[in-house]
A and B are shown apart, each in its own frame.
Chain A
Amino acid sequence: MNAQDIMFVILAVFIVCSAFATVISRSIVRAATYLLFVLLGTAGLYFLMGYTFLGSVQTMVYAGGVIVLYVFSILLTSGQQEELRTTNLKKTVAGLVIALVGFGVFASVLFMYGFAPIDFAASSFLASPDESVISMDTIGTHMLSTDKDGYLLPFEAVSVLLLACIVAGIVIARKR
């Protein structure tokens, strides 16, 4: 075990515990806070792999954007300490079925991937981080190119989505 493996174990335990806490927690704001920890832990994994850009995007978009919006909208809508109420039998069964289906999908994806067997004699279980990080220039060029590896269409589609959100926001907020 080297430092990287130790960090991976710490992050993995942190993520799993926070994920459980997210679904078990009764208070909706606490659940959002635990979700923040899950997302930050995932960003930590990206940094561990040397993907600093992806890690920063994860922090910016999910931790700094989505969670802030969650908490903000919870504050705007309830304001009170809103406990998640206990559910009836029908909801419990439906939730159980959905959870099992989701678990099945994830488990099948994991087992079909075919990971390399762990070599316990090796000094490190993880591949060392890729030091030749992709420069921002390359990412920007690919984002706006129409070539084989270009992402111009998804990029523009996202901007149309954002425009729709802005228009919807104005429609809701305008004075009548």
Chain B
Amino acid sequence: MFDFSVFTSWLDAALLSVMPGWLTILVECVLVALGIITLYAIFAMVMIYVERKFCAFVQCRLGPDRVGPWGTIQVVCDVLKMLTKEIVSLRKTDRFLHALAPFLVVTASMTTFACLPWNKGAQILDFNVGVFFFLAIGSIGVVGILLAGWSANNKYSLIGAMRAGAQIISYELSIGMVMLTMICLTGTMSFSEICQNQAEGGWYIFRGHFVALAAFIVYLIAGNAECNRGPFDLPESESELTAGYHTEYSGMDFGFYYLAEYLNLFICAGMASTIFLGGWAPFVIPGLDGFNEVMAIIPGFVWFLVKVFFVLFLLLWERWTFPRLRIDQILTLEWKYLIPISMLLLVLMALCVSLGLTF
């Protein structure tokens, strides 16, 4: 399997030979940031197209089909439209917080995006506490949503923000609990080690058998709620709140929320595929060496993207199948069902690991 760190260490050495240390770090940071932003934008556009087509498929419609073959250029046109739209500034609002809020949301989203392991040796942020860092940075996005709702001085925005706050804070608990369950099994919090372990010993969803499978299902439910997506899209329920917390935003300020929503979905799927489905690790069956070698030829980022789009398919399926819940039903689902289930899963996983029942 190709190790991407060969390229990065070569680049580092090449830069270090022509410029001082601090400038090297600066140049590398700028390069990495450009890479992240480009990938972020590209995947947002891909996701928007996939979502439209998938939604149309579920609802027996055609979806976008006019601009370009199968409507593929439609997304590009929409992005151009959003980039050139006027940003309306409102009176009687807190201008500073109103302008700041989308950046908080999109920064939190981009930082979590940088945690994803794309390939062997191609992690951008890889700490020994990677999973914990991921959860910590992800929790900043809520502040942006709350500030957006408050600073707009609009009651629909405020209600949307309150709902989003209550929902995201609640569902963060079961996401954290599920992650803890899997950390019991992995024994490490670093994303690179988690992937490496799975490349050597098989994916954790198989190694943790039924407990990991149940944790995966809980993660899919809580992940959809964490991204404010249906059936949990109460914060922006258009039939009652216009557009929820981003009602008063226009142009690219709104675009940032739009981007962050789709990319949060992508990140949610990426995290599920990293922790449960092996990240860049190929699918191997112990004993079948010929099969395993063929699988190892396929590069790591292809494996990662295939897994991410598989999980995305599951998440979109969930989103377009179920009708929207009420806010009390959402909170009941979390506090009375998902949290007890995920606590039970944590205990079960600890028992399995300590009794040596995992593979």
B25 located at the interface, meaning its Cβ lies under 8 Å from any Cβ of chain A in the complex = yes
B165 located at the interface, meaning its Cβ lies under 8 Å from any Cβ of chain A in the complex = yes
Instruction: Tell me how far the C-beta of B351 lies from the nearest C-beta in chain A, rounded to whole angstroms.
Output: 17
User: Contacts A56-B136, A59-B137; is A68 near B165 (CB within 8 Å)?
Assistant: yes
Does A33 contact B97, Cβ atoms closer than 8 Å?
yes
Interface locus among A71-79, A84-92, A99-107, A153-161:
A71-79
Does A2 contact B143, Cβ atoms closer than 8 Å?
no
CA distance A84 to B65 in the complex (A): 55
Does A30 contact B97, Cβ atoms closer than 8 Å?
yes
User: Contacts A59-B140, A60-B136, A81-B94; is A52 near B21 (CB within 8 Å)?
Assistant: no
The residue that B165 contacts in the complex, of A3, A72, A79, with Cβ under 8 A, is A72
* CB nearest neighbor in B for A5: B22
Does B128 contact A36, Cβ atoms closer than 8 Å?
no
B146 located at the interface, meaning its Cβ lies under 8 Å from any Cβ of chain A in the complex = yes
User: Contacts A71-B146, A75-B149; is A27 near B136 (CB within 8 Å)?
Assistant: no
Instruction: Tell me how far the C-beta of A12 lies from the nearest C-beta in chain B, rounded to whole angstroms.
Output: 17
CB-CB under 8 A from A30, the residues of chain B are 94, 96-97
Does A72 contact B146, Cβ atoms closer than 8 Å?
yes
CA distance A72 to B139 in the complex (A): 14
CA distance A22 to B246 in the complex (A): 26
CA distance A140 to B272 in the complex (A): 25
Residue of A1, A40, A52 ringed by the most chain B CB atoms within 10 A: A52
CB-CB under 8 A from A6, the residues of chain B are 22
B215 located at the interface, meaning its Cβ lies under 8 Å from any Cβ of chain A in the complex = no
A29 located at the interface, meaning its Cβ lies under 8 Å from any Cβ of chain B in the complex = yes
CB-CB under 8 A from B22, the residues of chain A are 1-3, 6
A135 located at the interface, meaning its Cβ lies under 8 Å from any Cβ of chain B in the complex = yes
CA distance A76 to B143 in the complex (A): 14
CB-CB under 8 A from B149, the residues of chain A are 75
The SS class assigned to the B binding surface is helix
* CB nearest neighbor in B for A59: B136
CA distance A51 to B20 in the complex (A): 26
Instruction: Tell me how far the C-beta of A29 lies from the nearest C-beta in chain B, rounded to whole angstroms.
Output: 6
Does B169 contact A29, Cβ atoms closer than 8 Å?
no
B150 located at the interface, meaning its Cβ lies under 8 Å from any Cβ of chain A in the complex = yes
Residue of B96, B133, B136 ringed by the most chain A CB atoms within 10 A: B136
How does the 8 Å CB contact mask read for B164-197 relative to A, with 1 for contact and 0 for none?
A: 0100010000000000000000001100000000
Interface range on chain B: under 10, 10 to 19, 20 to 34, or 35 or more? 20 to 34
CB-CB under 8 A from A27, the residues of chain B are 94
CA distance A135 to B128 in the complex (A): 7
B127 located at the interface, meaning its Cβ lies under 8 Å from any Cβ of chain A in the complex = yes
How does the 8 Å CB contact mask read for A54-69 relative to B, with 1 for contact and 0 for none?
A: 0111011001110110
Instruction: Tell me how far the C-beta of A33 lies from the nearest C-beta in chain B, rounded to whole angstroms.
Output: 6
CA distance A44 to B231 in the complex (A): 37
* CB nearest neighbor in A for B92: A81
CB-CB under 8 A from A71, the residues of chain B are 143, 146-147, 150, 165
* CB nearest neighbor in A for B141: A64
B132 located at the interface, meaning its Cβ lies under 8 Å from any Cβ of chain A in the complex = yes
User: Contacts A2-B22, A79-B158; is A68 near B133 (CB within 8 Å)?
Assistant: no
CB-CB under 8 A from B96, the residues of chain A are 30
Instruction: Tell me how far the C-beta of A9 lies from the nearest C-beta in chain B, rounded to whole angstroms.
Output: 12
CB-CB under 8 A from B21, the residues of chain A are 2-3
How does the 8 Å CB contact mask read for A22-62 relative to B, with 1 for contact and 0 for none?
A: 00000101100100100010000000000011011101100
A133 located at the interface, meaning its Cβ lies under 8 Å from any Cβ of chain B in the complex = yes
A136 located at the interface, meaning its Cβ lies under 8 Å from any Cβ of chain B in the complex = yes
User: Contacts A33-B100, A60-B136; is A75 near B128 (CB within 8 Å)?
Assistant: no
The residue that A29 contacts in the complex, of B25, B94, B135, B136, with Cβ under 8 A, is B94
Instruction: Tell me how far the C-beta of B133 lies from the nearest C-beta in chain A, rounded to whole angstroms.
Output: 5
* CB nearest neighbor in A for B25: A3
CB-CB under 8 A from A75, the residues of chain B are 146, 149-150, 158, 161-162, 165
User: Contacts A56-B133, A75-B162, A79-B158; is A63 near B147 (CB within 8 Å)?
Assistant: no
User: Contacts A53-B132, A72-B146, A136-B189; is A81 near B137 (CB within 8 Å)?
Assistant: no
User: Contacts A56-B133, A75-B150; is A133 near B169 (CB within 8 Å)?
Assistant: no
> B residues near A, CB below 8 A?
21-22, 25-26, 94, 96-97, 100, 127-129, 132-133, 135-140, 142-143, 146-147, 149-151, 153, 158, 161-162, 165, 169, 188-189
> A residues near B, CB below 8 A?
1-3, 6, 27, 29-30, 33, 36, 40, 52-53, 55-57, 59-60, 63-65, 67-68, 71-72, 74-76, 79, 81, 133, 135-136
